[in-house]
Amino acid sequence: MARVIVVTSGKGGVGKTTTSASISTGLALRGFKTAVIDFDVGLRNLDLIMGCERRVVYDLINVVNGEANLNQALIKDKHCDNLFILPASQTRDKDALTEEGVEKVLKDLEHLGFDYILCDSPAGIERGAVMALTFADEAIVVSNPEVSSVRDSDRILGILQSKSRRAIEGREPVKEHLLVTRYSPKRVEDGEMLSYKDVQELLRIPLIGVIPESDDVLQASNQGTPAIHLKDSDVAIAYQDVVARFLDEDRPLRFVAYEKPGLLKRLFGGK
> Which residues of this protein are in contact with other proteins, per CB under 8 A?
146-147, 150-151, 154-155, 158, 161-162, 188, 190-195, 198, 202-203
- Work out the angle between the directed axes of helices 234-246 and 16-29 (0-180°, nearest 10): 70
Residue nearer to other proteins on the CB measure, 24 or 195 = 195
Q: What is the DSSP string of 75-108?
A: EE-SS-TTEEEEPPPSSS-GGG--HHHHHHHHHH
The distance of closest approach from Cβ of residue 76 to other proteins in the complex, given in angstroms and rounded to an integer, is 41
For residues 140 and 193, which CB has a smaller minimum distance to other proteins in the complex?
Answer: 193
Q: Which residue lies nearer to other proteins by CB, 200 or 219?
A: 200
Q: How far is the CB of 192 from other proteins (least distance, A)?
A: 5
> How near is the Cβ of 60 to other proteins at its closest, in Å?
29
Shortest Cβ 191–other proteins spacing (Å): 3
Residue 164 C-beta: closest distance to other proteins, Å: 14
Q: Are strands 75-76 and 83-86 parallel, antiparallel or unpaired?
A: antiparallel
Q: How far apart are CA 109 and CA 143, in angstroms?
A: 28
49, 22 Cβ separation under 8 angstroms: no
* Distance (Å, whole) CA 97 – CA 87: 13
Q: Of the two residues 67 and 126, which places its CB atom closer to other proteins in the complex? A: 126
- Tell me if 181 sits within 8 A of 211, measured CB to CB: yes
Indicate the residue among 31 and 158 with the shorter CB distance to other proteins.
158
Rounded Cα distance, 245 and 186, in Å: 25
